[in-house]
Amino acid sequence: MWRLFFLGLVSLAGVSTYGQIKKHFTVENSSSFDKVDLTLSGGSGTCYIRPTPNNNPVNVYSTVESEAPGPRCESVLDQRTQKVNVNFIDGQSDESSIGKVPFKVFGSDQEGLNQWHVYLSKKKPVNLNLTYGMGNAFVDLSGLSIEKLNITTGSADVSVSYVSGQYNQMEMDTFCIKVDLGELEARQIPLSNAKNIIADVGFGSLYLDFTDKSRIRSNVNATVGAGNLVVNANESINPMIIYIQNSPLCRVKIPEGFTEIRKNVFVNSQYDQDAENLITFNIDVTMGNIIFKTF
């Protein structure tokens, strides 16, 4: 069930005067479904995704300029899955008028910009599909039950992390990332409990952080065109093996903490092929840069 609240606000502070529309959408908890399939499509504003102790699986708050139509939302029950589609329409049709939003810290206030705040409950598993064209997205998945995660970014800047340091409450089947022209930072990836991490980088940049302790075996399959892939790997914590498929047009940097056991195959000092938390990297790069860093 969706609830909609409309409130027109006018700032009388003397610094600026503007009209905003605030809307609140809620998917109420029900025994009629076991999990949520949530698709979020972003415009040129700023999107924040955070966990909440609220029993309702999905809560969406939007603040948009008065001339913008606001988000379009659909919620359909399909067998035992509640399928929710939220399309954040910002109302700006002239692409040239959309400025690149500065990449700021999580929770910053960007007055005058369209903002979307999404709160996800820990009560039910979620398949999360995120698509961002422009703007910024800040995603905190601490302690949630994410079954599958798909993130696609055009020229947007996206940050994914586990701010409170809580692991995903279940094994994540697939953590899929596609970066076209934008930048995506995925921090604390071992906390996702993802069995498969799939990354596709076109001309943009992707930062993957594996500095936390991994609890399960993970396979990382990455394809890089002309962009950049940076992997921060604490080689003293998790056993790792790296397979590189490269070309003369790319650049690959492997730190001293790894040993090349055969051509383009590298292992760290903790490597054990039978380890329960082994992280395996399979990287195919054409023209881009692959950089592994340790600290």
Report the DSSP pairing between strands 218-224 and 194-201.
Answer: parallel
Mean pLDDT score of the chain, rounded to an integer? 84
pLDDT of 70: 62
Q: What CATH class has 7-93+116-293?
A: mainly beta
Can you give the pTM of this predicted structure?
A: 0.84
Domain boundaries, the chain: 7-93+116-293
Structure-block tokens of residue 31: 């025994």
CB 181 within 8 A of CB 203: yes
CB 201 within 8 A of CB 288: yes
pLDDT of 123: 87
What's the first-to-final CA gap in the chain, in angstroms? 48
Q: Is the pLDDT of residue 193 over 60?
A: yes
pLDDT of 21: 62
